[in-house]
Amino acid sequence: MIEFVLLCFIAGIVIAIPVWIVSQRLGTRRGLHAARHFNPDDAVPCEIEPVALKGRLMPDLETARSEAGDGEEGAPR
């Protein structure tokens, strides 16, 4: 049984390598010719900003303390 598995593995490699080479030369990658001439200096600048997913707006700590009437700083609620 192991001989059959090894034989199929080797046959798959022997068939896959030429198919891969031909697909690289003639296949769907041919449509990506414009990407080869991509100049990173022409790219549009992008600014990444942090985002809170499933976040909630929390009230300002000082506003919450003044509304609650706690006179102590740092007192637990």
Q: Tell me the pLDDT tens digit for each residue of 5-38.
A: 999 999 999 999 998 888 777 765 555 566 667 7
Pick from 1-5, 10-14, 58-62: least confident:
58-62
Identify whether 12 is part of a domain.
yes
Kindly state the average pLDDT of the residues 40-67: 74
Sequence letter at residue 9: F
Identify whether 36 is part of a domain.
no
The pTM of the full predicted model, rounded to 2 decimals, is 0.34
Give the separation between CA 38 and CA 44, rounded to whole angstroms: 12
Identify whether 73 is part of a domain.
no
Domain boundaries, position 22: 1-26
| Domain count along the chain | 1
Paired tokens of 25: 């030369």
